[in-house]
Structure 1
Amino acid sequence: MPRALVLGGTGPVGRAAAHRLLVAGWQVDVTGRDPARMPPELSALGGEFKAVDRADSTALRAAVGEGTDLLVDCLCFTAADARSLLPLAAHATSTALISGRAVYIDAAGNHINSSTPPHFSGPVSETQPTMTPRDDIDHHSREGYGANKVAAELVALESGLPISVLRPSQIHGVGASPAREWAVVKRVLDGRTALLLARRGAGVAHTTAAANLAALIETVAERPGTRVLNCADPDAPNVLEICRTIAGHLGHEWEEVLLDDTAPVGLGCTPWDSAHPVVLDTSAATALGYRPAGSYATTIAPVLDRLVEAARNGQPPVDDGYFADYFDYAAEDAFLAGRVGRAGR
């Protein structure tokens, strides 16, 4: 029975990877700081929880033990994190390090977290230039996140160990925080009869299901190597298509009000809006043998059901300010009223 160790196994990516491997017959250990966060479905399948802090190198080495067939690191954000990973990866047949699309820059040097949105000329492949690696700024900052990820990638890739760096885009899945879909689900639960969308709902920010990332993790487990691979859903729905998918799954109908550039700034914004399309080229993963678990519509369904259930149980996603711009119903109603007034003149 092959063995996998998932660092950060209680988050959306870790739990999806652990679930896929357990179903495939693997022995899987997941790490975390709080045993209470161990997904019950993993325990039911035989998954084991190890209370280990990602920063505790001694405890991590003990968790690896004599070695493992697959090591998955969902918590590598800095070069220091990557350096602490190398001794563990040396005892693994294959290692998957989760990075992200935030590392990429366009021809002008802009990235996803720039004040000026990036403008890529087409689907972004793994050869697209990346940010300058840095480890002297906080990885929690807008400028620091991608730069620190690049620094971590370089440490891993230059080690020569069989480490696959995986770059997803806007991960969605059970346990994701923030759960971006709440921006639409709450509107449905609130009984809104109109959906306003900026840029006519044409914005595209490629999504990645945790289930699809789990499928790629299983692929690199079977084909160890030192490489970088993009991972995203097989389709790249625009904002309008995403909202229609969510509303359709929940059986809700509303008027779609597609706004143009004359609409007030901020009106109709969503978590997936993008001034220019940001789509990842996943052909390298496909060539390696990766096959996605499903489309956005099929993989998002369990997330929507969980959100509705949580809301009905009085436990909706914690709004720490992330959703502040998405539920300004007063501004929407004022705009809609003005539209009716203008039409009646």
Structure 2
Amino acid sequence: MSARRAVVLGGTGGIGSAIVRQLLDATDDWQVDVVARRGGAAADALVARGARFVPGDRRDGALLRDVLRDGADLLVDGVAATATDARQLTPYLPDVASTVLLSTKAVYADERGRHANSLERPVFPVPITEAQPTVPACEGDPTSRDGYAANKVAAEQVLLDHGAPVTVLRPSKVYGVGIGRPREWWVVRRVLDDRPHIALADGGMSIDHTTAAAGVASLVRLVADLPDRRILNVADEPAPTVLDIVRTIAGHLGHRWEEVLLDQEGSALTGRSPWWTPSPVVLDTSAARALGWQPPRFEDAVLPEVDWLVEVAQSTPADGDVPWATDPFFERLFDYGPEDAALTLLSLRE
């Protein structure tokens, strides 16, 4: 039996590389073409495992024609951000057995139209099913606060309306080896800095569902054999609290510190982690599980990423920065002065 062919657009990122590894490690035989703008260590590692690397921009029409003109058994698009991106794929969908679009839980809107990137935090039902309303589709600026999710919805609609078997996956707070924005660094760096305490807003009970890149990969592998038009949430089971996340990472690294579990008053001063949210955000994954998918557990799935973060940090020169240090997301997350001052003030009030 000849190998089945998969094309992964954006295949060297944290999610894409996990999908490629899952396919290459499958018991059945897959030939995997990895499309990404540039090579490097991630691409080299995938090629060493048997993938074929295709350098180029996913939005280059000539490149897409070259890699898709003969069709594929599986097409995964981890890059598409707009309806225009999605339209580039439609000529090839009839010759693809199963297509997967990686979307985001940020598309969901609450009853007042608020979404994950709104200035005012949304309040969702618990859990959020795939039937939850989304923000209106829009073809504006996908990098803006309101445009990111709206453009994703537009991309979803283009592919789902085509009629081909397209599965849209909506993950939340993705983590994994090689991920571009490793939120777990918020804990790991504090451990490496030997912090004696960690402050957690709202007693560490906040929940913003996490999704293992490896879990996304296993679901992609499953739907490759079950092509259909559908939308699926993808997330860990169960959804960990911030306290669960902190204890898992610190415990794995053998670090002990004082957990300062703040009440509402203290939470206004400090302790807001990358997973903090005033109301819980939990995805319902029953639709994916009904297909036979087994969600990962955060406490197990996060450990390879934690080890990777430590390895990267320890191999970075003392006068250098980890690769994600320039991400504005991490600005002020490690400004310990105000945090220590707030904890001192809180202790004086007791």
| TM-score bin, normalised by smaller chain | over 0.9
Q: Which residue of 104, 107, 113 corresponds with 1:109? A: 113
Cα pair 2:202 2:267 within 8 Å, conserved: no
* Paired position in structure 2 for 1:62: 66
Q: Identify if the C-alpha distance between structure 1 residues 264 and 13 changes in structure 2 by more than 3 Å, giving closer, same or farther.
A: closer
Q: Report sequence identity in percent.
A: 49
1:18 aligns with 2:14: no
1:303-335 superposed Cα distances (whole Å, 9 cap, x missing partner): 111111111111523233212232221122223
Map residues 119-130 of structure 1 onto 2, 5 A cutoff. Answer: 119-130=123-134
User: Which segments of structure 1 move beyond 6 Å, counting only runs of 4 or more?
Assistant: none
Shift of 1:50: 0.4
Q: Which residue of 307, 310, 315 corresponds with 2:309? A: 307
1:6-54 superposed Cα distances (whole Å, 9 cap, x missing partner): 0000011110000000001311110011122544432221011001211
5+ residue gaps in structure 2?
A: none
* Residue identity in the other structure for 2:307: D
1:205 aligns with 2:208: yes
Shift of 1:342: 4.4
Tell me the distance in 1 between the aligned counterparts of 2:293 and 2:331. Answer: 37
Q: Which residue of 215, 218, 221 corresponds with 1:218? A: 221
Cα pair 2:43 2:53 within 8 Å, conserved: no
Q: Which residue of 228, 233, 237 corresponds with 2:231? A: 228
Cα pair 1:269 1:326 within 8 Å, conserved: no
Q: Which residue of 143, 164, 167 corresponds with 2:146? A: 143
Tell me the distance in 2 between the aligned counterparts of 1:328 and 1:80. Answer: 40
Tell me the distance in 1 between the aligned counterparts of 2:184 and 2:287. Answer: 29
Tell me the distance in 2 between the aligned counterparts of 1:297 and 1:158. Answer: 38
* Paired position in structure 2 for 1:336: 343
Counterpart secondary structure, 2:33: strand
Map residues 168-207 of structure 1 onto 2, 5 A cutoff. Answer: 168-207=171-210
Shift of 1:65: 3.8
Tell me the distance in 1 between the aligned counterparts of 2:183 and 2:92. Answer: 33
Tell me the distance in 2 between the aligned counterparts of 1:60 and 1:178. Answer: 27
Tell me the distance in 2 between the aligned counterparts of 1:328 and 1:266. Answer: 13
Q: Identify if the C-alpha distance between structure 1 residues 118 and 342 changes in structure 2 by more than 3 Å, giving closer, same or farther.
A: closer
Number of equivalent positions: 341
* Residue identity in the other structure for 2:303: A
Shift of 1:266: 4.9
Q: Which residue of 33, 36, 39 corresponds with 2:40? A: 36
Cα pair 2:266 2:346 within 8 Å, conserved: no
Cα pair 1:38 1:49 within 8 Å, conserved: no
Cα pair 1:78 1:148 within 8 Å, conserved: yes
- TM-score normalized by structure 2? 0.94
1:166-188 superposed Cα distances (whole Å, 9 cap, x missing partner): 11111111111211011111110
Counterpart secondary structure, 1:309: helix
Shift of 1:93: 0.4
- TM-score normalized by structure 1? 0.95
Q: Identify if the C-alpha distance between structure 1 residues 341 and 130 changes in structure 2 by more than 3 Å, giving closer, same or farther.
A: closer
Counterpart secondary structure, 1:80: helix
Tell me the distance in 2 between the aligned counterparts of 1:4 and 1:312. Answer: 35
Please tell me the root mean square deviation across aligned C-alpha atoms, in Å.
1.4
Q: Identify if the C-alpha distance between structure 1 residues 98 and 266 changes in structure 2 by more than 3 Å, giving closer, same or farther.
A: farther
Counterpart secondary structure, 2:278: coil
* Residue identity in the other structure for 1:10: T
5+ residue gaps in structure 1?
A: none
Tell me the distance in 2 between the aligned counterparts of 1:50 and 1:121. Answer: 42
* Residue identity in the other structure for 1:338: L
